[in-house]
Amino acid sequence: MSLMNLFVAVRNALIEQRRCRHTYNELMALDDRSLADIGMHRSQLPAIVEDMCQGAELHPVAAPTRNPRALRLVTSHR
């Protein structure tokens, strides 16, 4: 691996970490009723976001379809 590839990999990892943290913070900002409307409970949020982020690292395009909860999150959150 060249030095440039290493920098690109680190940059991409930091971007992904920021995106996951932002997703978690947005979901935590919702009230309990809004979370219930999209079929989630506040205690499930860390696991849902972690699953979603781990899936995105492995398969960036297919991540939401691999996990039904992540698919529901993506389609219901907007």
Closest CA to 48 of 26, 78, 12: 26
Q: Distances from the Cα of 10 to the Cαs of 28, 32, 38, 39, in angstroms?
A: 27, 36, 34, 34
What pTM was computed for the model? 0.62
| Of 24, 73, 25, residue with least CA distance to 63 | 73
Q: Return the pLDDT at 54.
A: 87
Enclosing domain of residue 54: 3-77
Any idea what DSSP says for residue 30?
Answer: S
Q: What is the pLDDT along the chain (78 residues), one digit of tens a residue?
A: 699 999 999 999 999 999 999 999 999 999 999 999 999 999 999 999 999 888 765 544 444 445 555 555 555 544
Q: What is the pLDDT of residue 56?
A: 60
Identify the pLDDT of residue 26: 94
Report the alpha-carbon distance of residue 34 to residue 31 in Å, rounded: 5
How many structural domains is the chain composed of?
1
